[in-house]
Amino acid sequence: PRHVSVVVVCNLLHFTSSCRPSPQSCLLMLTQHEAATRIQAAYKGFATRKNMQADGNDGNSVVENAARAIRDVIASVPTKLVEGIKPLCQQIGQSMAPKVKTAVSAVAVTALVVGLARRLRRKMWRRDGKAGRSLKLVSWHVYPVKGCGGVHVNADKAKVAVTARGLAYDRAFVVVNADGVKKGMFASQRDCPQMAKVKVNLPLEALVLEDPETKAVVECTYEGKTLRVPLAPSKDGDTVDVNVWGTNVEGGRDCGDEAAAFFSNVCKKNVRLLRYPDATGIRRCDPKYVARQDELHVTANTGGAYCDGFPLLACLASSIRSVAEAMGISEEESLQRFRPNVVFSSGKDDDSSPFADDSYSAVCINEWLSLKYVKPCARCSVTLVHPSLGVRKGGPRGVTVWDALKRLRRHGSDMIHKAPRRWRNDRFFGWNALVSVHRDVAELRLGSTSFDHLSNDDGSWWGGKLGELCVGDPAYVTGYRTFR
C-alpha cells in the first residue's frame, strides 16, 4: 500500500534530520529538512483521509503530493550518496591510527585463514567421498544367539543368505530373564558379561538354505559344556514375549529346560532361551529412521529378529584397525567387541580413512543389494567386555574402547561436530543399515515390488530370501550425506 511507503520514508527522514551528521556524511544529502517537512505534512493529511471523505473530499491530491515529494528525494540519492561517502571515507582513512589499521588487517587475515581451513577440512573429510567409490566385502558375521559369540567368516567365496531382516539366522535366539524385576527383558553382556565366553557354531550350509524344516543344530559351548539346539523353531514350546529396548516382541518359542539350565549357569540367574518365530514374526524399525522409498529401490523397514532395532550393522576394516592400534589389541579382538554384520574395505591395501563411512548414505553390493545407512551406532558398555575373558577389561595400555573412540573421533569428524544434537555426546562406531533392493529384483525374487506383503498372515519364512552375499563381492558407494 502506498501509505506504508509514506510512513517508512517519513520516519527515516525525520530520524536522519535530527541526527545532525557531519558535512561529509551522505546522510546530510538525504535529509533535506524542507522535503521531510513536506512529506510529514502530506502523511498527516493522509491520516485524516476518512475525515476528508466525510466532507466530500477524496484526499487523492494529498497522496499524490506525498508520492511526488518522495520521488524528488529518492531521485537525488545516487549522485549525492557518492559525493557524500567519498570524502567521508578519505577523511576516515587519513585519521585512522596505525594500531587500528593493524587490528583491521589482523581481523581480515584471520578471517581468510579460518575460511581456507574450513574448506580444506571439508575437502579432507570428503576425500573418500568420490562418486561410486569402490569397496569390497571382506567378511560377514552372524550372531545366532543375541549377546553370545558369533560365526565369523572371512574365507573367500563364503556365502550367506540375505533377507529383509538382514543375514539369515542373525539374532534368531535370545536369552530372557525368567524372574525378578527384569522378568521378560532380554539378557545381554551389559548385565551378564560371561555371555561373551559362549562360543556359537552353526553349519555354513545352513546359512545359505531357506528350509524352514532344516535339521541343522546350533552348538553353544561354555567352559567345556556343549548345548545343541535345533535351528528350526520348536512347534511344541511355550510362547513367550520379550521386551527388546521397549519393543514387545511376541511369539518367541521356548527351547526347553536343558537350554534354560545351560544359560542359567552362564548368567548365574534364572533365564530361558527363546527362538524367534520365522513365519509369523514381523518387527518394524523406528519410523523416523526408515529410509524413504524412491522410484528405483524398495526398502524394507523390518528390524531383524531379536536385533536392537535394525537388521544390519556395517563398518569399515580401517575403523576396526584404528581402534585396535589405539588400544594395543588385535584386529580380531577389536572386531569381536564391536560385533558388526558386514565389513568393507577399499581394496587390497585398504587405504580408506577410518570412519570414512560417516559420509556414506548407501552402499550397493554385487549390483543387486543396497544398504541404506540410516543411523550411526552408539556403542554401549558391551564393547568394554573382553570377548575371551568375559570381564570388562581394556587393552594392555589401559585404554578402553570408549577412550579410543573419544580420541580418534575428537577431530576431523563432521558427524560429531555438525550432526543432530542428540548424537553429539555418544560414542559411535559403525552404521545401522536397512536392506534395500532394486524394484526389478524385488519383483523377480519376491513376486512383488513391496515388502508389505511379507505380513503375519501369509506364512512367509524369514521375510523372504532376496539373495546371497559372498566374501569378496564388489561394492561401491552410491550415496553420500553431508552434515551442515
| Tens digit of each residue's pLDDT (9 = 90 or more) over 250-267 | 888 899 999 999 999 999
**pLDDT tens, residue by residue, 359-409:** 898 999 988 888 999 888 989 899 999 999 999 998 888 899 999 998 887
Cα 245 to its chain centre, rounded Å, is: 19
Instruction: Report CA Rg, the chain.
Output: 35
| 89 pLDDT more than 60 | no
Residue 374 dihedral angles phi and psi, to the nearest 5°: -110, -25
Q: Is the dihedral of CA 29, 30, 36, 39 positive or negative?
A: positive
Query: Do residues 267 and 185 lie in contact, with contact meaning Cβ atoms separated by under 8 Å?
Result: no
> Mean pLDDT throughout 312-329?
94
3-state helix, strand, coil split of the chain in percent (to 5) is 35, 25, 40
pLDDT value, residue 445: 65
DSSP designation for 308 = S
| 412 pLDDT more than 50 | no
Whose cell is 566385502? That residue is 137
Task: Report the alpha-carbon distance of residue 15 to residue 62 in Å, rounded.
Answer: 23
| 182 pLDDT more than 80 | yes
Q: pLDDT category, 442, cuts 50, 70, 90? A: low
pLDDT value, residue 50: 44
Give 50's contacts (C-beta < 8 A, 6+ positions apart).
Answer: none
Mean pLDDT is lowest, of 52-66, 269-283, 331-345, 379-393, for 52-66
pLDDT value, residue 210: 60
3-state SS assignment for residue 373: strand
Cα 137 to its chain centre, rounded Å, is: 22
Query: Do residues 44 and 36 lie in contact, with contact meaning Cβ atoms separated by under 8 Å?
Result: no
Number of residues that make up the chain: 484
Predicted structure pTM score: 0.69
Cα 132 to its chain centre, rounded Å, is: 20
3-state SS assignment for residue 62: helix
Query: Where are the extended beta strands (E) located within 280-327?
Result: 297-299, 312-316
Q: pLDDT category, 157, cuts 50, 70, 90? A: confident
- What's the grid cell of residue 470? 559372498
pLDDT value, residue 9: 46
| 292 pLDDT more than 80 | no
| 430 pLDDT more than 90 | yes
Identify which of 273, 269, 272 has the alpha carbon closest to the alpha carbon of residue 180. Answer: 269
Residue type present at position 197? K
pLDDT value, residue 237: 74
Query: Do residues 328 and 407 lie in contact, with contact meaning Cβ atoms separated by under 8 Å?
Result: no
Instruction: Output the average pLDDT for the chain.
Output: 75
pLDDT value, residue 107: 67
How do 166-167 and 369-378 pair as beta strands? Answer: unpaired
Task: Report the alpha-carbon distance of residue 257 to residue 273 in Å, rounded.
Answer: 9
**pLDDT tens, residue by residue, 192-227:** 999 999 999 988 888 887 666 778 899 999 999 999
Identify which of 442, 445, 411, 91 has the alpha carbon closest to the alpha carbon of residue 294. Answer: 442
| 411 pLDDT more than 70 | no
| 45 pLDDT more than 60 | no
Task: Report the alpha-carbon distance of residue 92 to residue 372 in Å, rounded.
Answer: 59
Comparison of pLDDT for 135 and 69, the residue scoring more = 135
Q: pLDDT category, 168, cuts 50, 70, 90? A: confident
| 270 pLDDT more than 90 | yes
User: Terminus-to-terminus CA distance in the chain, angstroms?
Assistant: 39
| 446 pLDDT more than 80 | no
Comparison of pLDDT for 261 and 234, the residue scoring more = 261
Comparison of pLDDT for 39 and 461, the residue scoring more = 39
